[in-house]
Structure 1
Amino acid sequence: MFPLLVLFQNMSENCSKPNFSLAQASDMLKSLYDLTTSQIHTLPSYDDQNFYVLSTNGNEYVLKISNSEDSKNPTLIEVQTFAMSFLLENGIPTQKGIPTTTGQLMSLRELDCGYGRQKYLVRLLSYLPGKNISKVPLTPQLLYETGKMAAKVDKVLQNMKHPSVSVLDRDNFVWKLSNLPALEKVLYVLDGDRLQEVMKSVIELFKSSVAPQYPYFRKCINQGDFNDLNLLVQPDTNGCYKICGIIDFGDMNSGFYVHELAIAIMHMMVIHPNPIDVGGAVLAGWESELPLNEAERDCLYVLVLARFCQVVCYVCHSLLTQPENEYLIMWSKKVSHIFWDFSKLNKEHVEKIWFHGAKI
C-alpha cells in the first residue's frame, strides 16, 4: 500500500493522537520526574499531546506525549531532542529536555488513554515564556526577523553531528515539501471543493517546474514547521516584539533551504491581514543570512503554493477522524480562503511584490 495511505490508515485505526487526562499526566510527572503539579492544563497540538505544567517547586515545564505512531520511532525523537539542545547551545532560543529521575530524556510508557493499551514516548521539556506570534502586531520588522531566524536555524542544524542523523531523511514523511505529489492519493477528501482543481494544477506545476530544479537547490536539515504556534515573541525594551522561542521540532527532515523559507512565508501569510505583503519582509530577513540562488528564487512562488496544498489537504483529512480538534478547525477556516485568493495571483505579480519588498 502507498506509504501515505498506510500512515493515515494507522492514524485512524490506532487513534494515534494521545488523549490523556490531567490526572494521568500528573501521575506521569510524579512517577517519572518526582514532580508534583501546582497547575496543569493542555496546550494546542496537531497529533501529539502537550501539557503546561507548573510544579510545586515553582518551575514551569511542558509535558509532551508523542502519538503512538511516532512513538514507534524513538531514534527519530531522540535526534529531535538532541537538535533542540544543539540549537540552544548555538544561540537559538529552544526548549531543552529534562531528564527523568533515572537520567533519561525520554521514556516509553505503555498506557491506556481511551483506545486500549498502547506505547507512548514521554518527554518533559523546559518551558519558554512568550506569546504566539499571531497574538501581536505582525510588523515588517517582525516578519524580517522571522525570515532571518528561519535561515539561522537551518544553518545551525546543517552543522549538527549525531550518529543517527540519517533518520531525518524521512523519504515518506507526508509533510516533507518534496513529497507534494503524494497528495494525489488523498485529494478525494476535497471532493466537491473548489480547491481540489487548484491543488491538481499546483501538483502538476510542481512536477514540471520545481522537481527538475532540485539538483540546484542547496541541501540542509529543515526545522520544517515555522508556524505561528511554534514561534514565541516578547517585547524588548523599546516595546517592539522579538522572537524569544522556537518550539516543536517534530517535522524536522532532510530537505532544502528554500523549503524552510517557503514554509515560513506560507504560515506568516495565514496570520497577516494582508497576506500577499508578507513575502517581501520574510524574504529580506532570510536573504540577510542566506541569499537565494537563481533556481531557488524561481521556484519560491510554487513552493509556497505547495505548502498551502499540504496544509489544506492534510488538515481536511485529519478532520475526518478528529472533527472536534479545535486546532484543526482553526487551521481549516484560516487557510482555505487565503489559499484560494493567493492561487488567483499569477507568478509574475507575486514575485514583483515579494522581490521588490526584499530590496527595501
Structure 2
Amino acid sequence: MEKRPTLTPQQATELTLQLYGVTITEISTLPSYIDQNFLIVDTEGTNYVLKIMNSDDSKNATQLEVQTFAMSFLHQHGVPAQTALPTTTTGKLMSMEEIDCGHGAQTYCVRLMTYLPGKTLAESPGTVEDLYHVGRFIASMDKTLQQLESPNLDVLNYNCDRQWSLSNIHLIERYLSMMDGDPLQEVIQAVIEKFKSHVQPKISCFQKGIIHGDTNDTNILVTPVGNGHHKLSGVLDFSFLMKDCYVFELAITIAYMMLENPSPLDVGGAILRGWESIMILNDDERECLYLLVLGRLCQSLVYGRYNSTKYPDNKKYLLSTANKGTQILTKLWEMGGKEVERKWFTEVSTFSVNE
C-alpha cells in the first residue's frame, strides 16, 4: 500500500473548504519527504499550509496530538513554530480523513497550519554568523521543550526506536544493497563499524530530552536583515519529535547545514559555538560528535536512495542530499576525526559574534 498521500489540488481545495470553511484562490505544492504539503491562499490573501500526513504516521493519533501541542507550546514561548488551526466541523486541531488518492481509500491526518515567512536555509545558505544563530536557536528550542508537560509525552519515547534515531545507525545495514557497488558503500560500512565501537558504548552518558529530530536545511526558515545576514523566522515539521540525545540534534543540524553551504567545513564550528552558548557538551558527546555527523549523512544517503525507489515521483527531493552529501561524507572521512574536530573545536574557542 502506498503510504504517501498524493491528493490532487482539486481534492485539497475541496477538503479545505469542507473542514475549515476556507475558500482557496491559489494552491501550489510544497516539497515533502513522504507527507504532502500545499501552500494555499484564501480569498482575503492569507497564506496557510495544508499538511496531509502519510498513512503510517496517521495511525499514531496520540503522537500527532503531542507534536501539534508542542508546536503551539513553542509558539507561545516565542519560538517561531507553525500552529494548527481548528476545523469548523469539530473544533479539533487535526482531522482523520478517509481519502482515495487512486490506490484505495486510506486514512490520513489532515491539519491546516499557519504560514511562516522566509526562505529555507537550503535556498539561502547562511553566513558564519547566521549559523552561530542557528545553533543557538535550536539549543534554545530544545531547552524550552524541557518545560513541555502532557500526560502523553511517553509516546515520544517510541519515536527514538525509529530508523532515523542516530542511536539506530546499524539499521541502515539492511539497506546497503541499495548502494549497488557504489564505492561510497565501503565508507558507509566503515562509519557503521566505527560508530558501533566508539559511539554506542557512550550513548548512556549523553544528555537527553525532547528534541525536534529533523533540524535539516529545509526545516529552518530565514528572512534577510541586510548586509547578507538573516534572522531565523521559522522552524518546520515536528513529525520526528522524540525523547533522545541532545548531541544528536546538534549533529543532525551540522550534517544538513553543510549540504548547500559553499564552505561546508566552516559550518560545524559556527553551529557548535551557538549551541554551546546555551548547552555545553560533556566530554563523551564531544568525542562522538564527528562520528554522529557522519552517521546522519550515511542515514540520509541510504534512506534517500531506498525511498526514491518507493516514491519515484518524489525522487528529486528524496535524493537532494545525494550529490553534495556524498562529497562531504567522503571528504570528512578522508580528513579523519582528529583533524575535523580540531577545526570545529578550535573555531569554537576563537569565534566571536554579536549575541
Which TM class, normalised by the smaller chain length?
A: over 0.9
Structure 1 match to 2:302? 313
Cα deviation for residue 237 of structure 1 reads: 6.2
Letter in 2 for 1:331: T
Residues 85-142 of structure 1 show CA distances to partners (whole Å, capped at 9, x for unaligned) of 1111111100001000021100001110121111100000000011111222521111
Letter in 2 for 1:216: C
Cα deviation for residue 291 of structure 1 reads: 1.2
Question: Kindly, what percent of the aligned residue pairs are identical?
Answer: 47
One of 33, 42, 47 as aligned partner of 1:55: 42
Structure 1 residue runs of 5 or longer lacking an equivalent are 1-13
Query: Does residue 346 in structure 1 map to residue 336 in structure 2?
Result: yes
One of 272, 275, 282 as aligned partner of 2:264: 275
Letter in 1 for 2:211: N
Query: Does residue 33 in structure 1 map to residue 23 in structure 2?
Result: no
Alpha-carbon distance in 1 for matches of 2:279, 2:310: 40
Alpha-carbon distance in 1 for matches of 2:336, 2:84: 45
Structure 1 residues 130-169: aligned runs within 5 Å:
130-169=118-157
One of 77, 82, 89 as aligned partner of 2:64: 77
Structure 1 residues 110-189: aligned runs within 5 Å:
110-170=98-158, 171-189=160-178
Letter in 2 for 1:273: P
SS for the counterpart of 2:189 is: helix
Structure 2 residue runs of 5 or longer lacking an equivalent are none
Alpha-carbon distance in 2 for matches of 1:343, 1:239: 31
Could you list the structure 1 runs, at least 4 aligned residues long, displaced by more than 3 angstroms after superposition: none
SS for the counterpart of 2:210 is: strand
The two structures have a TM-score, normalised by structure 1, of: 0.94
SS for the counterpart of 2:330 is: helix
Alpha-carbon distance in 1 for matches of 2:294, 2:258: 11
Alpha-carbon distance in 1 for matches of 2:78, 2:60: 28
SS for the counterpart of 1:69 is: helix
Cα deviation for residue 324 of structure 1 reads: 3.0
Alpha-carbon distance in 2 for matches of 1:349, 1:240: 29
Which structure's residues are more often helix, by fraction? 1
Cα deviation for residue 195 of structure 1 reads: 1.5
SS for the counterpart of 2:214 is: coil
Alpha-carbon distance in 2 for matches of 1:57, 1:258: 43
One of 76, 94, 100 as aligned partner of 2:87: 100
SS for the counterpart of 2:222 is: strand
Task: Determine if contact 2:255/2:297 at 8 Å carries over to the other structure.
Answer: yes
SS for the counterpart of 2:116 is: coil
Alpha-carbon distance in 2 for matches of 1:33, 1:291: 44
Residues 21-40 of structure 1 show CA distances to partners (whole Å, capped at 9, x for unaligned) of 00000011010000100111
Residues 166-195 of structure 1 show CA distances to partners (whole Å, capped at 9, x for unaligned) of 111124311111111111111111121111
Residues 2-37 of structure 1 show CA distances to partners (whole Å, capped at 9, x for unaligned) of xxxxxxxxxxxx111110000000011010000100
Alpha-carbon distance in 2 for matches of 1:73, 1:329: 27
Structure 1 match to 2:323? 333
Structure 2 match to 1:7? none
Task: Determine if contact 2:82/2:115 at 8 Å carries over to the other structure.
Answer: yes
Instruction: Give the total of aligned pairs.
Output: 347
